[in-house]
Structure 1
Amino acid sequence: MRTIKDIAKLADVSRTTVSRVLNDSGYVSEKSRKKVLDVIEETGYVPSQHAKSLRTKETKIIGVILPKISTDTSSRTVDGMNEVFGEKGYQILLTSTNLDKVKEIEHLRLLQNRQVDGIVLLATNTDEDLIREIQDSKVPVVVIGQEVPHDSGIPSVVFDDYGAAVKLMEALIGSGRRKIGYVGVEAADQAVGVLRKRAYLDVMERHGLESGAPSVQTGDFSIESGYEAASRMFSDGTGDIDAIFAATDRMGIGVWKYLREAGISVPGQVAVVGIGSSETSRFIEPAMTTVEYEFEAAGRAGAEILLSILNGFDNGPDKKILDFKLISRDSL
């Protein structure tokens, strides 16, 4: 799907110029106007506000694809979206992929067939097949939570996953921890699987600390996988691990449960930290040190970008990066 950015690039003009031509507002030289109109004719580009009138029916429905409906992350993000969409008279149609990346493509196609006006995707991966599917979509798509290629033309909302993980690692090292284990997820997930692990490895290297098996383990986001990862980490009798950084709170809770059952004190012998600031992380004892993301803000940002595209306006930067907050609790 062509965007204003694409037309501006092909015509060698600014996106503001393209918007002015499309909306017949503001000064544009005849030379620039002709360049824009020629590109529009060549590409068959239809501006969003005109596309709405060409559809047989404007549904006022936005499709939202979630990795899981039941998680705190998903519910808070949807709350933020619903706040923005609701004010503009839109309703949300939710689907869940259950962390199956194949279903992300299936659900993109399903929602387009349901004639939604646009889609917000809380992606679990951004492989070539998914990127191609989004680019070929009949309706605009905004991705939340995963990095997309810079030249893809796909708008996204992401958190500073690398920076957040570095902050946690520096907090652990600042507290005197040196043998730090890591529980992550598969590399198919760019945000959690790649960026957070990269931060862990970079900080360990910067401080001259060793990392590697069995102190680096992989889970699947679940509490159970965190428990099993911690079990593997300690199965060879290794007793010098003094901290574990879990890439998500849920896996961190699994780590915490294993340590408690194994008679290993937290944080006396092993500190445990995670990312996500989930409700449960507040109520376990000791409460878990974590990074808080404003998931509602991510939902609002994604909704605002999508509405901007639907209304035919320049959608601004391709990527919006949201900040984070370190929440220090008793597990550190």
Structure 2
Amino acid sequence: MANIDDVAKLANVSTATVSRVFNNSPYVSEKARESVLKAAKELGYEPSILARSLAMKKTNTIGLIVPDISNPYYSEVVRGIEDVCNIYKYNIILCNADNSRDKEIQYIDMLKSRWVDGIIFHSDYFSDEIYDIFKDRKIPLVLAGRATNYDVPYVVIDNKKAAYDATKYLISQGHKKIGVIHGDLNGMKETVDSVDRLYGFLDAMKEAGLKVYDELIKESNFKAKGGYIAAKEMLKGSVKPDAIFAFSDVMAMGAINAIYDAGLRCPEDVSIIGFDNLDLAEVTRPALTTVAQPMYDIGAVAARMLIKIIDNKKISEKRVILKHRLIIRQSCI
């Protein structure tokens, strides 16, 4: 197998010149560059990516940690990240943490050992412990879909305002007994999506002078089965909801099935509104009214921010808040 010395000898240049050619250095004449590339092709030589990365102290690799890749929301965010990384010639190491704090920490250490240039972190929580780990390891970091009070760049929507808008729409349709299916509230910490959305819901209900029934507030796990179970429990209670606001489309779809299994109709008996605007929302029956998150853009903007940070370029905004939209379909009347 040919090595760098063989290429230098055949091209009649120094090994330093060969190295500069493969590192795209501008300090090489066009004649020398052509000679080196021709010699490398004849010998079948390919430079060591690891050796080049160590020399340049850059691997052109980004780590990405998500809590549950089986959730279609995260798949769309990942697609945005991947498309931008492809444009800028970055590779991605994707880590699925399975909603485990321990796995997140393991993946951070693994990615650090793989010499990634930075990490995009998309998790249900951004705890003090996780922040300290990133700080100690000095890894460039951007949060996707997660806000924080720490001095860390992030890309999000205004979850509180989005939930407020969704609840106001249900109220405008005449609904008074509105149920909620939320995710883990993590001690009501503000940086958790479900907390911000719950506060938005409560603000809209209070503003309208409507009662919030404890038995109509159910916790779930952002999965269809979880949404089904939560809605089923709600519908069996003494206070029956006339509408349900699920904090994800997937949970909303499970809730629709629970309505039908209870012998009721959606939206005639119980209206449903979701959150995310997944592709499935449009083809669900009834088609799902939902809050649209710019999922692809969340990923794409986060990737651009991280690449700028890696390249020591200034980012104009460290806290990017993208717009949401309310998509009206057939699951609410």
Q: TM-score, normalised by structure 1?
A: 0.80
Task: Confirm or deny that 1:229 pairs with 2:214.
Answer: no
Q: Which residue of 1 aligns with 2:201?
A: 200
Change (3 A) 1:108 1:210: same
Deviation at 1:321, TM superposition (A): 0.5
Q: Partner of 2:178 in structure 1? A: 180
Give % identity: 30
**In the alignment, does 2:326 pair up with 1:331?**
no
The within-5 A match list for 1:1-332 is 57-149=57-149, 152-188=150-186, 190-239=191-240, 241-332=241-332
CA contact (8 A) 2:124 2:193 kept: no
RMSD: 1.8
Q: Distance in 2 between matches of 1:314 and 1:295?
A: 24
Shift of 1:56: 6.4
Q: Aligned residue pairs: how many?
A: 278
> Do 1:214 and 1:232's aligned partners in 2 also have CA atoms closer than 8 Å?
no
Tell me which stretches of 4 or more aligned residues in structure 1 moved more than 3 Å. Answer: 52-57
Distance 2:305 2:200 in 1: 29
Q: How far, CA to CA, are the matches of 1:295 and 1:178 in structure 2?
A: 31
- Separation in structure 1 between the aligned mates of residue 267 and residue 127 of structure 2, nearest angstrom: 38
Give the secondary-structure state (helix, strand or coil) at the position aligned to 2:215. coil
- Corresponding letter in the other structure for 1:218: E
Task: Answer yes or no: is the 8 Å Cα contact 1:277–1:292 preserved in 2.
Answer: yes
Please give the alpha-carbon distance, in whole angstroms, between the structure 2 residues aligned to 1:280 and 1:313.
38
**Partner Cα separation in structure 2 for residue 56 and residue 285 of structure 1:** 54
Residue 202 of structure 1, CA deviation: 1.1
Q: Supply the distance in 1 between the matched residues of 2:168 and 2:55 (Cα, whole angstroms).
A: 53
Alpha-carbon contact 1:144-1:157 (below 8 Å) kept = yes
Q: What is the one-letter code of the residue matched to 2:104? A: E
SS at match of 1:129: helix
Q: CA deviation at 1:110?
A: 1.2
Displacement of 1:138 after TM fit?
A: 2.8
Q: Structure 1 residue 156: deviation in Å? A: 0.7
Residue ranges of structure 1 left out of the alignment (5+ in a row): 1-51
Q: Distance in 2 between matches of 1:321 and 1:224?
A: 31
Give 3-state SS (helix, strand or coil) of 1:326's partner.
Answer: strand
How far has the Cα of 1:144 moved from its partner? 0.7
- Structure with max Cα Rg: 2
Tell me whether 189-198 or 270-279 shows the greater mean CA deviation: 189-198
Q: Is the CA contact 1:112–1:138 (under 8 Å) kept in the aligned structure 2? A: no
- If the length of structure 2 is used for normalisation, what is the TM-score? 0.80
Question: Unaligned stretches of 5+ in structure 2?
Answer: 1-51
- Higher relative contact order (CA closer than 8 Å, sequence separation 6+): 1
What is the CA-CA distance between 1:225 and the residue it aligns to? Answer: 0.9
